[in-house]
Amino acid sequence: MPVGRRVAYWRGRRNLSQQVFADRLGKSKSWVDKVERGVRTLDKVSTLQDIAAVLRIDPAVLLGRDARPADAIGGTADVTLIRTALSRYDIPLARPASGRPVLPVDQVAQQVAHAWTTFQHARYPEVAALLPGLLADVERARAADPAGRAALVDAYRVTASLLVKLDVPDLAWLAVDRAIGVAAGDPALVAAAAVQLGQVLRASDQTRVAKSAMLAAAYRIAPPVIEDGVPAELSLCGTLLLQAALAAAAHGDDVAVVDLLDEAAALAAPVGDGQDHHRTGFGPTAVAVARAAAALALGDDRDAVSRHKEFTRRDGWRWLPVEHRAGHLVDVARAHLRTADPVGAGRVLVDTDRIAPAEIRHRPVGRDTLARVVRAPTAPTTLVRLAASLGVG
pLDDT for res 390: 78
pLDDT for res 48: 79
pLDDT for res 69: 45
DSSP 198-259: HHHHHHTT-HHHHHHHHHHHHHHH--SSGGG--HHHHHHHHHHHHHHHHHHHHTT-HHHHHH
Phi-psi domain of 336 (left: phi exceeds 0; alpha: psi -120 through 50; beta: other): alpha
pLDDT for res 97: 58
pLDDT for res 346: 93
Domain boundaries, the chain: 3-62, 72-184, 323-393
**Cα separation, 188 vs 237, whole angstroms:** 10
Q: CB under 8 Å to 23, separation ≥6 — which residues?
A: none
**Cα separation, 368 vs 386, whole angstroms:** 13
Residue range 332-350, pLDDT digits in tens: 999 999 999 999 999 999 9
Q: Domain 3-62 carries which CATH code?
A: 1.10.260.40
∠ CA 313-314-316, nearest 5°, is 140
pLDDT for res 90: 73
Please, how many CA atoms are within 13 Å of residue 193, restricted to the half-sphere of its CB? 27
pLDDT for res 112: 97
Note the pTM of the prediction, 2 decimals. Answer: 0.82
| Regions in the chain scoring below 50 on pLDDT | 66-69
Q: How many helices (H) and strands (E) does the chain have?
A: 22, 0
